[in-house]
Chains A and B, each alone.
Chain A
Amino acid sequence: MAGRIKHMINLIVERRAKGNPLLIETTRAKLIFKGVHPEAFTSTSSDDPLLEEKIRAIAAELGVSLDPS
């Protein structure tokens, strides 16, 4: 399987920023500070359960649900 990490990152940015261009940038910056660079992943990046767990924790810190809407 591939692309799950990118999907999770996109969900965090989308749900935290709610379309605000400034918040899109600041949310991406926050992810970088937390050790996850959004540009480092694509839809073909291999899934990684450990990293996905870390991203789930980051989402919780940012108050974002990764549940399907």
Chain B
Amino acid sequence: MPITTAHSILSLPEAVRDLQAQCGDCKPKFILFFASTKYEPRSLSEQLWAAFPGTCIVGCSSAGEIASAKMMTGALVAMFFPADAVEDASAAVVKDLHSEVHVREVFAEFERHYGQPASSLSLGQHVGLVLVDGLSGAEERLMEKIGDYSDILFVGGAAGDDLKFCKTHVYCDGKAYSDAAVLVLLRLKNGYEILKTQSFQLSAGS
């Protein structure tokens, strides 16, 4: 079963049903989603959690959404990772980013989930994702703390809010958070490769 992507521009709750329909027979082990601020954060997170019970679900608010090479605004986009891509997933939230950033508890949660110390996890089979409140100003501090604690590669980005620069959200397992970051530790079936791309085009005036 391949990794499936889906998108919807409908409002809640139809947008979630739309994603469910596009997911089809895929039984995701992990779902990553990005959502315009037109979706009320708590409702969105709760409805996705209810629609895909037992699945690790994380996401964040965005400023433009990309799916299948389409750039959208006002949309909800998602990637569904089946068990033959992601063997296991554990997500945890770092709260209160405005104060001192602590990741120890998050890694303790990962270690409980996987039943082994983070330092003993295979670097080729595990990768981390991080989504952070884009208005927290804590991105660098957070990444430094993660890097201090672990050698597992963490990739990710900052949540947006459709360029309003007022409030951004990260989502984890049915809840919505501000002033927070969500970290995910994925155990991959077949490892991973790093690829680079970029979504900008030279304009006529460049």
Write the chain A residue with the least CB distance to B145. A61
Residues of A3-59 contacting chain B, CB below 8 A:
16, 20, 22-23, 26-27, 30, 33-34
| Smallest beta-carbon distance A59→chain B, Å | 11
Q: Which residues of chain A come closer than 8 Å to B143, judged between CB atoms?
A: 33
- A63 contacts B148, CB within 8 Å? yes
B: interface residue count bin: under 10
Which secondary structure characterizes the binding site on chain B? helix
Centre residue among B140, B151, B153 by max chain A CB count within 10 A = B151
Which residue of chain A has its CB nearest to the CB of B124?
A22
B123 within 8 A of A: yes
- Give the interface residue-count category, chain A: 10 to 19
Known A-B contacts: A20-B123, A23-B123. Give 12 more (CB < 8 A): A16-B151, A23-B151, A26-B147, A26-B153, A30-B144, A30-B147, A30-B148, A33-B147, A34-B144, A61-B148, A62-B148, A63-B148
A46 to B123, CA, bound (A): 37
Which B positions have Cβ atoms within 8 angstroms of A? 123, 140, 143-144, 147-148, 151, 153
Closest Cβ–Cβ distance, residue B121 to chain A (whole Å): 13
Q: With A and B bound together, what is the CA distance between A22 and B144 in angstroms?
A: 17
Contact B148 A26 (CB under 8 A): no
Instruction: Please state if A33 and B148 are interface contacts (CB–CB under 8 Å).
Output: no
Report whether B144 and A33 are in contact in the complex, using a CB–CB cutoff of 8 Å: yes
**Residues of chain B with a CB closer than 8 A to A61's CB:** 148
Residues of B contacting A33 in the complex (Cβ-Cβ under 8 angstroms)? 140, 143-144, 147
- Give chain A nearest CB distance to B192 CB in angstroms: 13
Q: Is the CB of B148 within 8 A of A22?
A: no
A22 & B123 in contact (Cβ 8 Å cutoff): yes
Once the chains are docked, how many angstroms separate the CA of A61 from the CA of B196? 30
